[in-house]
Amino acid sequence: MNTCILGIESSCDDTSVAILKNHKILSNIVCSQDVHVRFGGVVPELASRDHLKNIIPTIDAALKTANISLAEINAIATTRGPGLMGSLLVGISAAKSLSLALNVPLIEVNHIQAHLLAHFIEDAEFKGNLKFPFIGLIVSGGHTQLLKVTDYFQYELLGETLDDAAGEALDKGAKLLGLSFPGGPIIDKLALTGNPKKFYFPKSKVQDLHFSFSGIKTALMYFIEKNIKEDKNFIQNNLEDICASYQHTIASMLIDGLQQAIKETDIKNIAIAGGVSANSYLRKLLTQFQKETNADIHILPLKYCTDNAAMIAMVGYFKYQEKIFSDISITPITRWEGFLNK
Ligand code: KG4
Ligand code: ZN
């Protein structure tokens, strides 16, 4: 029997709806909000208003693209958290309405868990072959976590950032350089023509398998302050090299974490997920790392790295198989610590 899941993602500034049939994604519509760009970061109130405007047309577009009718949907999966309160509320409310109207189960999904389980998505062009156990590295705008994953819902946290996330370090670094938002993809693009070894930024060393990225952002701030005193056009004259060097340090810290995790767990099966895993330089270093270590490294197509509802529908599918449904009274969990539970 076929299982059709409608997935909704609205945790931050992307309104996304996907339709999944068994493991296969039939549509994955992402409506990104550009109202935040001129504010240099996501403005929560504007984000929720935009979600409100976009949610129904995005649901319609997802159904139409998938050529699926509402009557064929078996369950509604939605991001419950972590994320912005107002943004999450829009997606959850839409999901509850659909669940009630169609008389199908409501399934809550943890956004971070969904980033990782996106590796099990299949579509017309992509089919991963990730096997358990594996080491998961989640690198997003708010999270940097290393996990040992033994089943869809069985995780052991190996390490995480003690302060800023990798994406946050890139976004804040971009802001210091006067670049737009979100900074990660802008740094990625500028760094393509820069020299990653031109400037040196020290890597932060913390205990065990944890990370720390706030030090490198401070190092960049002092570096800019110092050099601007000597050359007021220092940033403009060296932008590509600064981006490449800064990005190199952050990406290398992530690779170091993976190396250490392999050493400690003896698992060479690695899956990277989250927005920062779209970074072209990190992807290049990972390919190099794979050759050097013989590790089996799994990276996702770019559309499944950044926020999308396909990953929410995927987790919805796994929960549907185990009949893990949510109550209609659920409310957003803006800070969702740990997702080891189902
Ligand atoms: O996973 P995601 O889309 O949203 C969160 O759950 O946070 O990740 C967003 C983060 C932002 O920090 C953004 O700058 C970063 O991912 N990002 C990138 C790239 N694309 C998105 N960072 C570096 N290079 C990219 N190409
Ligand atoms: Zn995300």
Please report the pLDDT score of residue 104 as a whole number.
98
User: What pLDDT is recorded for position 273?
Assistant: 98
What is the structure's pLDDT at 257?
97
Distances (CA, A) of 13 to 77, 85, 97, 109, 333: 18, 12, 21, 17, 16
Averaged over 314-333, what is the pLDDT? 97
In angstroms, what is the span from residue 5 Cα to ligand 1's centroid? 26
Residue nearest to atom 2 of ligand 1 (CA): 275
- pTM over the 0.85 mark: yes
CA dihedral 92, 94, 95, 96 (to 10 degrees): 90
Checking if the pLDDT of 40 tops 90, the result is: no
Q: Which among 170, 217, 284, 312 is the best mutation to test ligand 1's pocket, defined by most ligand atoms within 8 Å of the CB? A: 170
Please say whether the beta carbons of 15 and 35 come within 8 A: no
Q: Which of 13, 139, 140 most suits a substitution to test ligand 1, by most atoms within 8 Å of the C-beta?
A: 140
Distance of alpha carbon 116 from alpha carbon 138, whole angstroms: 7
Taking only the tens place, the pLDDT of each residue in 71-100 is 999 999 999 999 999 999 999 999 999 999
How many whole angstroms from 232 Cα to the centroid of ligand 2? 37
- By alpha-carbon position, which residue is closest to atom 10 of ligand 1? 141
Measured CA to CA, the distance from residue 48 to residue 160 in angstroms comes to 29
Amino acid residing at 264: E
Which ligand approaches the C-alpha of residue 169 most closely? 1
Residue 74: predicted pLDDT: 98
pLDDT of amino acid 339: 61
Please tell me the distance between residue 10's alpha carbon and the centre of ligand 1 in angstroms: 15
Element housing 217 (H / E): helix 214-230
| 127-184: pLDDT as tens digits | 999 999 999 999 999 999 999 999 999 999 999 999 999 999 999 999 999 999 999 9
The pLDDT mean for the chain works out to 96
The whole-number average pLDDT for the span 218-242 is 98
Q: Which residue has its alpha carbon closest to ligand 1 atom 1?
A: 275
Q: Which residues line ligand 1 (CB under 6 A)?
A: 12, 115, 140-142, 167, 170-171, 182-185, 188, 274-276, 278-279, 306-307
Mean pLDDT of 245-265: 98
Q: Which atom of ligand 1 is nearest to the CA of 183?
A: 14
| Ligand 1 centre distance from Cα of residue 171 (Å) | 8
Closest CA to ligand 1's atom 19: 185
Cα 231 to middle of ligand 1, angstroms: 31
* Each residue's pLDDT tens digit, 96-122: 999 999 999 999 999 999 999 999 999
From the list 326, 322, 325, 319, the residue with the least C-alpha distance to 114 is 319
Determine the residue type at 208. Answer: D
The percentage of the chain sitting over the pLDDT mark of 90, rounded to a whole number, equals: 95
Q: Is 43 helix (H, G, I), strand (E, B) or coil?
A: coil
Checking if the pLDDT of 341 tops 90, the result is no
Q: What is the pLDDT of residue 21?
A: 98
Average pLDDT (221-246) is 98
CA 224 to CA 234: how far, in whole Å?
8
Q: Whose CA is nearest to atom 7 of ligand 1?
A: 141
Task: Examine the pLDDT at 205 and tell me if it is beyond 90.
Answer: no
pLDDT of residue 37: 87
Strand partners, 137: 146, 272
For the record, the structure tokens of 21 come out as: 């049939």
Q: What pLDDT score was predicted for residue 23?
A: 87
State in Å: Cα 145 to ligand 2 middle.
13
